[in-house]
Amino acid sequence: MSAIAISVWTEPLAESNCYIIYEHKERHGNEVAPCVVIDPNDPAGPLSVLEQKGLRPEWILLTHEHCDHTAGLEPMRERFPDAQVMASEQCNVGMQNARLNMSRMMEVYLTFFGKSGVSYTPFVCRPADKTYSEACTLDWREHTFRFVPLPGHTAGSVGIFLDDDIFFSGDYLLPGREVILRLPGGSEKDYHEITEPFLATLPVGIHIYPGHGKDYRLAMPVDSCEGLIPRCFANAASSILKDAKQI
């Protein structure tokens, strides 16, 4: 199995992360390499990374429908029309709705977090090319992505495993932050009944790539922390997080 590299581009307003996954392989001349993009969060930033590194997305994967994770989806599709978009069925519904994807209220949301005076144009996205309603997998090159629906933050939220030792958590497991459940499409019931128990099964040592904040390795079981890690990270980060080397 070929080794992989993961590049990140962090959008400056909501500070969300876009992840670009590609294989470490020797290339010749101007050869363009295939990659997978998770959460294209900005119209320009991720595209600049792809151009700089000579990468071409074959798949674009979404952890959920919010605008700070999908604002660059349509520009990326226009630049790379052969790229396939994969999302949960509920994410697919939400990203086509300016209320559910939060773009209609993003100016208010940013003001609440101390970034007032920002102009944010509402938008919607075209439907995904492939959708799913239950856990499934995607084989890419020599690697496997595994998708697990995790409703709560939004109806369309999912966690994405890569080769079972990396977990792209979307807006769960954010260091120092509570899980937000009261935005459009959110559900405390789904979070506590479905997502919270699943997160508690994550193995110690798994490499977490969150939707906001730095990546880290899980150093103790999630259910060892009251309220499931966001609060515990804020109060005891030194004992829970380990510095993680970039793959």
Phi then psi for residue 222, to 5 deg, are -55, -40
pLDDT class of 103 with cuts at 50, 70, 90: very high
pLDDT digits (tens, 9 = 90+) for 175-224: 888 899 999 999 999 999 999 999 999 999 999 999 999 999 998 878 65
Distance CA(55)–CA(47), nearest Å, equals 9
For 178-198, letters b (16+ CB in 10 Å) and e give: ebbbeebbbbeebbeebbbee
pLDDT digits (tens, 9 = 90+) for 108-126: 989 988 888 889 999 999 9
Of 72, 116, 124, 63, nearest to 99 by C-alpha is: 124
Task: Report the predicted TM-score, pTM, of the whole model to 2 decimal places.
Answer: 0.89
Average pLDDT over residues 74-98: 98
More confident residue, 225 or 129: 129
How many other CB atoms are found less than 10 A from the CB of residue 75?
Answer: 15
142: left (phi over 0), alpha (psi -120 to 50) or beta: alpha
161: Cβ contacts below 8 Å, ≥ 6 apart: 145, 146, 147, 148, 167, 168
DSSP 33-86: EEEEEE---SSSHHHHHHHHHTEEEEEEE-S---HHHHTTHHHHHHH-TTPEEE
The DSSP bridge partners found for residue 140 are: 143
